[in-house]
Structure 1
Amino acid sequence: MKLFFKIFFLSLFFNIGYSQTNLKEQAVNYTEFKGKVINADSKEPLPFANLSLIGTNITSITNSNGEFIIKIPKTELSSKVRISFIGYKTETIELDSFEEKNKTILLDVFISPLSETIISIPKNVDDLVRKTLSNVNNNYLEDHNIMTAFYRESIKRKKRNLSLSEVVVDIYKSPYKRYQKREIIDLLKIRKDTDYSRLDTVAFKLAGGPYNTLALDLIKYHDNFIPLFFMSNYDFWIHRTSEIDGLPVYVVKFKQKDEIKDPLFYGELFIDGENKTLLSAIFSLNVSDKLKSSRLFVKKKPRNANVWPVKANFRVDYTQNNGKWYYNYSNSSIDFKVNWDKKIFNSTYSISSEMLITDWRSNSNLNYPEKNKIIKPSIILADSKTGFQDLDFWGKDNIIEPDNSIENAIRKIQRKLKRIRD
């Protein structure tokens, strides 16, 4: 368990100064498409639906409001986009069908006949999970790859944004079938804004940046999630069945046994029952023991403050290309309480982070960046010296469409910068 969280370091430091600079990028040849993915019947948005440009490795994902943005090279405008969501029928649409580059996409719910559902449920669920977590050789990418990713993290005190960081990185990812050292991350672009004036005397910071979300690749690092020798500490059962692309999906719920008191995980695993492949996982950490769970997260804090997590939620999604699956998206959302000695009221802080693989290419020649370009697992993005002035900062790079709260935060940051310049 300590291995999984060793890069989820949370630090409390005394207030530091504010600085930022501007980065610009020349115009490039791409077309931007925006839209929304919703349930065809209820018209409710579908968050975390996957979008992929057929014939390429370009992908995107919907935000918590079901909204997406995907940037397509002009050489690929005759291609099609594939939209998938577990439990729904996959749709393929022509890029030409985007009216004014903004489209609402309807997905129909997949309905499995009751008789098929009953017959298909496996008897030994523990064995299903064990085979899924260890079934690496046949189902996942076998080569070294360079994955371009977009990463965003935000820190809030109650509902007020204190820090917002966004980066584009190249991840030098090693094959799934051979466990190697932690992947290398090369920082390509970064922008951030911090405002610690609302924090009185302390600044709440997250160390690790994109390494944190990358550690949620449960297939690559399943020993840090539920080691196979540790499975006896958990109960597993089939909660329901679903479908994606004609394949049966088992939704497996799990939680620690009642007699186990250590902080362990609970949640749902979405498993392709035919190929024993993990498609997605949504899980949380049991934080009922304040002291033990605090030790998993907090690296440094003032002596007169007690800090503990009150919520720790995680998600990881995988996607398929040419018959092989790979890590595509992950997020985390962690809430903390800070209780000061001799103070009646405590404070609540929230840290959210997410990362999406937007493109990837082979690294068969094992080319790696220079050491001075590699970011360290101890990086604190909030301390970087870049800002939000450039409205076209991302250029051709695909990003996760900001949800309402993030979009509002960006607007406030840009208004503040305008006042500074004026």
Structure 2
Amino acid sequence: MKTKISFAFLAYKYHLLCVLFIVFGGMTSFALNLFQDQEVVQTFSEFKGVVVDSKSKAPLSFATLTLDGTNISTVTNSDGEFLLKVPNSMLNNAISISFLGYQVKTIPLSNLNGDDIQILLEESMMQLSEVKINVPKDAQTLVKAALDKKGEHYINEETMMTAFYRETIKKRRRDASLSEAIVEIYREPYSSTKVDKIKLVKARKSTDYTRLDTLAVRLQGGPFSALYADMIKYPQYIFPENNLSEYEFSFDTPTEINDRSVYVVKFKPRAELEQPLYYGKLYIDAETFALISAIYNLNVDNRELVSQMFVRKKPNKVTVYPTEAAYRVDYRIKDGKWFYGYSNLQLTMKVNWKGRLFNSVYTLSSEMAITDWARSLDDSFTRKETLRPTVILSEQASAFSDPNFWGEYNIIEPEKSIESAIDKINKQMEKRKGKE
């Protein structure tokens, strides 16, 4: 007997990446340079390097680097690499580097050269028992307390945030599509039920349709998909109305971040439930009970329902179902208040064509990092400027431009495969310029 759940329920409860599989006729799409060369006076300096474990030298993915005294920040990529752009007027400042389970490290910029910087972080040895705290009755009580404290321990006023967003589509291990953007986010207070607004500042894209197997694969939702991973502001997408009865909770080994002790709570769906639910770990500050990080997955065993959740359009002769849906969200603290700082989402889809022997596997990823922010007293976005939650970024972005496209904006340093794809795009564009 098949399980039936309404589409409205699915649309409300699940939010990751809506995917459209569309058959296309053309074979190749090349990027065109739509921007005129301009002479730019550089008012910032770049610091580029890698953050690693001090003992093993293993790279630390998604570590946060913040320019002290400001809200300027970035995160390391999956290879532990970073690129931080600092205004020349602030080169006397220091940067702080933090990572879950490691001691915070502060380094004056004057001690760093511009390139090939290696920052070593030491694992934290602090035990939770060393801190005087109120131990919660059980793990579920702790999680409920964390969800209830959004108006107390998170920024509870309007803010204007600048963020870098990237989404990629890979066919097996080969990059097929890349879209990147700088966006401004008008964030409502955490206690508000109003939805945040997003404005596109600048964006670029590239798609090689020859790698997409006659399917044009597009992601719907864009930056909103990453933003909705903020489960404190948008708890309805994972714990509707703070209803925790669908899950089992238990304590795992505690850890530390930013010199603060952290509870680790494991959660998983109750065995008797059939609908797709989440499992993973929540990292909760031991003193305030504020959620500071979450790493979790969606159970994709029920192929039919999971496919309904993510696939919005596909050819009739194609069967599509997800084999993995992974999430991560990290929060940062400023003046004692937490706020959404970074999230990434990854969805792996298997595509079977009727009558074909072999299938195709696509990996669709999106990530967004807050790179600067300020308190805001008014909403300056016009209706025309505001993106819709159903946006397809690749249709909004202009084609790829030169390596200095981002200017002073901080971005997430591209991974090796993405960097290689960007290099190929730029070489193609140089060849085209030479023929003109």
When normalised by structure 2's length, the TM-score is 0.92
1:235 equivalent to 2:241? Answer no
- In structure 2, the partner of 1:376 is 388
CA offsets 1:135-166 (integer angstroms, 9 cap, x no match): 11111111111100000000011111111001
Shift of 1:223: 1.8
2:418 to 385, 389, 406: 406
Which SS does the other structure have where 1:211 is aligned? helix
- In structure 2, the partner of 1:283 is 296
1:321 to 325, 334, 352: 334
1:307 to 315, 320, 336: 320
Which letter does structure 1 place at the counterpart of 2:78? S
Q: Which consecutive unaligned segments of at least 5 residues does structure 1 have? A: none
- In structure 2, the partner of 1:272 is 285
When normalised by structure 1's length, the TM-score is 0.95
- In structure 2, the partner of 1:208 is 221
CA offsets 1:161-219 (integer angstroms, 9 cap, x no match): 11100100101110001111x21111111010011123343211111111110110110
Alpha-carbon distance in 2 for matches of 1:84, 1:408: 28
Which SS does the other structure have where 2:399 is aligned? coil
1:130 equivalent to 2:156? Answer no
Shift of 1:302: 0.5
1:148 equivalent to 2:172? Answer no
1:13-412 alignment to 2 at 5 Å? 13-15=22-24, 18=29, 20-23=32-35, 26-113=40-127, 116=130, 122-180=136-194, 182-364=195-377, 366-384=378-396, 386-412=398-424
Shift of 1:402: 0.8
Shift of 1:115: 5.9
Alpha-carbon distance in 2 for matches of 1:16, 1:27: 44
Alpha-carbon distance in 2 for matches of 1:241, 1:76: 37
- In structure 2, the partner of 1:420 is 432
Which SS does the other structure have where 2:144 is aligned? helix
The answer to whether the 8 Å contact 2:93/2:108 transfers is yes
CA 1:124 to 1:412, structure 2 compared with 1: closer, same or farther past 3 Å? Answer: same
Q: Give the superposed CA RMSD.
A: 2.0
The answer to whether the 8 Å contact 2:235/2:242 transfers is no
- In structure 2, the partner of 1:10 is 19
Which letter does structure 2 place at the counterpart of 1:159? R
The answer to whether the 8 Å contact 2:346/2:366 transfers is yes
Shift of 1:259: 0.9
The answer to whether the 8 Å contact 1:20/1:385 transfers is no
Which SS does the other structure have where 1:204 is aligned? strand
CA offsets 1:15-57 (integer angstroms, 9 cap, x no match): 2663634336633311111121111111111111111111111
Which letter does structure 1 place at the counterpart of 2:32? Q
CA 1:261 to 1:244, structure 2 compared with 1: closer, same or farther past 3 Å? Answer: same
Which letter does structure 1 place at the counterpart of 2:154? Y
Alpha-carbon distance in 1 for matches of 2:211, 2:221: 24
CA 1:369 to 1:119, structure 2 compared with 1: closer, same or farther past 3 Å? Answer: closer
Q: Which consecutive unaligned segments of at least 5 residues does structure 2 have? A: 1-9
Alpha-carbon distance in 1 for matches of 2:127, 2:403: 50
The answer to whether the 8 Å contact 1:130/1:228 transfers is no
Shift of 1:119: 9.6
CA 1:11 to 1:345, structure 2 compared with 1: closer, same or farther past 3 Å? Answer: same
Same amino acid, percent of matched pairs = 41
Alpha-carbon distance in 1 for matches of 2:285, 2:198: 30
The answer to whether the 8 Å contact 2:179/2:397 transfers is no
Which SS does the other structure have where 1:361 is aligned? strand
CA 1:278 to 1:6, structure 2 compared with 1: closer, same or farther past 3 Å? Answer: closer
Alpha-carbon distance in 2 for matches of 1:119, 1:176: 25
